[in-house]
Amino acid sequence: MKTDNTSPLRKISFKYRAGPAALRCLSEGAAYFARPSEFNDCLEAQFDHSSVADYIAQMDQTIKEIAQQRGGVGGYSLPEHALASFETKYACDNASFLDAAQKVGIYSTASRPDNQPMWAYYCDNSKGFCFELEWPDPLLAKYQIVPIGVDYSSTARIYNRADVFEKLIREEANLHPKWSMAQILEETRTDFFNFRFQMLNTCRAASIKHSDWAHENEVRFITPRAGPVPIIKDILKRVYFVRTGASYAMNGRQRNVRSDANRYGAHHKDPARQPQAHPQNCLPTDPTPLRNSRQFLARPARR
């Protein structure tokens, strides 16, 4: 069968839930975006900040490279007499950044519905359910939800906010190839640029986990604030459950979940008995928050 290469890729992820949690989610119609402190990993959103010298060096290298590409010169440096006040401001900004990372809302999902350890750990030994969720762009924009893959690492967590500055300023340079370096730098001083800089840094910092968790292959959805978001009716597409035992009889909880899911027009599948190809997907599974940060971070959050 011919495939339609013009069809847009869908943003699909999967949420493994135990029975009571699945029923509560369907009953309330909300997805709960949890604070990092509510997760079962004590190292969630915990990191050290890069030194002032490393921050300045990264900023300087980025601006120099972009300026050279435009046939000019540029850089990021501070006179000796201004360094002390900059260090004070840098420490203050880092404290605010760490505080913001502790307050975000995180909705953890998986990249496939047939991960056996996930069925065991999060679905009460396969007695629970797996929701297939589709995330349309208008919904992501409305609630300022940022999809991001988790960065699994066993190295020390030293976070440099200048890495996101590099991503964003290169994005502006690519979007405006005829702009001068002065125009690009002027754009970095706008409220919109600063909002994206703060939000994407927070998302990345809240999506670093130890490599021991890598088997989960997690895709996170992050909002500026934690709490329930009434979006289940907009994103739920399918419910997976496993029928165990010789008779494959559907238990009472499965019948209740199936009944509640019907209200949202969701389909039902047993991944063990009805295997299917996973839908084409364009959600990130790497720690790059967005290919184009303007796509979802386009206006203030509406909560």
Please give the single-letter amino acid code of residue 269.
K
What's the confidence (pLDDT) of residue 185?
92
- Token readout for 287 is 């720690």
Cross-strand bridge partners of residue 185: none
Plot region of 126 (φ>0 → left; ψ -120 to 50 → alpha; else → beta): left
Cα 127 to Cα 224: distance, rounded to the nearest angstrom: 33
Alpha-carbon Rg for the chain in angstroms = 22
- Token readout for 64 is 């120099």
106: nearest Cα among 203, 193, 18, 186: 203
- Token readout for 126 is 């396969």
Q: Is 152 helix (H, G, I), strand (E, B) or coil?
A: strand
- Token readout for 46 is 């915990």
Q: Please say whether the beta carbons of 137 and 199 come within 8 A.
A: no
- Token readout for 207 is 């999506």
- Token readout for 5 is 């290469």
Beta strands 129-134; 236-240: pairing state: antiparallel
Give the CA distances from residue 208 to residues 94, 214, 218, 299, in Å, rounded to whole numbers and listed in that order. 17, 11, 11, 26
pLDDT tens-place values along the chain, 303 residues long: 444 444 556 789 999 999 899 999 999 999 999 999 999 888 898 999 999 999 999 999 999 999 998 887 788 888 888 889 999 999 999 999 999 999 999 999 999 898 889 999 998 888 889 999 999 989 998 998 999 989 899 998 999 999 999 999 999 999 999 998 999 999 999 999 998 899 889 999 999 999 999 988 899 999 999 999 999 999 999 988 876 554 344 455 555 455 444 554 545 555 544 444 444 455 554 444 444 555 555 444 333
238: nearest Cα among 14, 11, 9, 10: 14
What's the confidence (pLDDT) of residue 289?
43
Cα 284 to Cα 144: distance, rounded to the nearest angstrom: 16
Cα 37 to Cα 166: distance, rounded to the nearest angstrom: 29
66: nearest Cα among 198, 172, 189, 214: 172
- Residues contacting 142, CB < 8 A, separation 6+: 302
What's the confidence (pLDDT) of residue 126?
85
Look-up: residue for tokens 């609630």?
143
What's the confidence (pLDDT) of residue 301?
38
Cα 62 to Cα 127: distance, rounded to the nearest angstrom: 51
Q: Please say whether the beta carbons of 181 and 79 come within 8 A.
A: no
pTM of the predicted structure, to 2 decimals:
0.77
Cα 220 to Cα 148: distance, rounded to the nearest angstrom: 5
Q: Please say whether the beta carbons of 180 and 147 come within 8 A.
A: no
Look-up: residue for tokens 């009571």?
20
